[in-house]
């Protein structure tokens, strides 16, 4: 069977599942397999045919799981995760360690204590202990958490290493929209 014939079989499976190729989502396994089989030139050299395990790795990376958790949960090694990361252009996301809340404000999440300073209007020259005390004095409640990117609710604000504050709008909004506050 030729590559073209195999691709047609995958397209047919997608059409049966979704009614037409037009309604088939971009992340459908059959559609991706067909696209890879039909790829020509530079793209064909760099592609691999993702399987269900590759899609699970991709889903976990998008959710924000760290490498060691993916290795343990899926019983895969570093090369498999690295291949998926490179193929889809994904990056590891940090674990969020603090949640800051205040009445009437959306929750704020950060990876480090000093990350809360900008959102609360506090100088970041203080120690973590001083920051927590100032936060409490200003009516903020700070919780120690361990959340992955996918655990954060939509429309919350967050920051990572730098001081830029972002708003989450779905799982695909990683570092997309800066907070205007």
Res 40: pLDDT: 47
Res 43: pLDDT: 47
Split at pLDDT 50, 70, 90, the class of 181 is: low
Res 162: pLDDT: 67
Tokens 């088939």 map to which residue? 24
Mean pLDDT estimate for the chain: 85
Res 164: pLDDT: 82
Res 150: pLDDT: 95
Q: Tell me: the pLDDT tens digits for 49-104?
A: 778 888 999 999 999 999 999 999 999 999 889 888 888 889 899 999 999 998 87
* 20 or 104: which leads in pLDDT: 20
Does 159 have pLDDT greater than 70? yes
Angle between helices 78-88 and 52-63 (to 10 degrees): 70
User: What is the arithmetic mean of pLDDT over 17-35?
Assistant: 87
Tokens 């924000």 map to which residue? 64
User: What is the arithmetic mean of pLDDT over 123-132?
Assistant: 86
Res 42: pLDDT: 41
Least confident among 11-20, 113-122, 148-157? 113-122
Split at pLDDT 50, 70, 90, the class of 7 is: confident
């Amino acid at each position: 069977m030729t590559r073209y014939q195999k691709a047609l079989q995958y397209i047919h499976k997608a059409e049966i599942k979704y009614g037409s190729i037009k309604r088939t989502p971009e992340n459908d396994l059959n559609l991706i397999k067909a696209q890879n089989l039909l790829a020509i030139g530079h793209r064909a050299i760099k592609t691999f045919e993702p399987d269900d395990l590759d899609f699970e790795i991709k889903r976990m990376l998008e959710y924000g799981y760290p490498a060691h958790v993916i290795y343990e949960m899926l019983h895969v090694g570093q090369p498999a995760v690295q291949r998926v990361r490179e193929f889809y252009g994904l990056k590891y996301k940090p674990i969020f360690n603090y949640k800051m809340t205040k009445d009437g404000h959306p929750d704020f999440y950060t990876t480090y204590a000093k990350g809360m300073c900008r959102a609360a209007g506090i100088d970041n020259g203080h120690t973590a202990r001083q920051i927590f005390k100032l936060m409490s004095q200003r009516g903020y409640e700070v919780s120690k958490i361990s959340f992955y990117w996918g655990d954060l609710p939509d429309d919350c604000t967050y920051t990572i290493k730098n001081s830029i504050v972002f708003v989450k709008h779905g799982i695909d909004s990683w570092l997309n929209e800066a907070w205007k506050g």
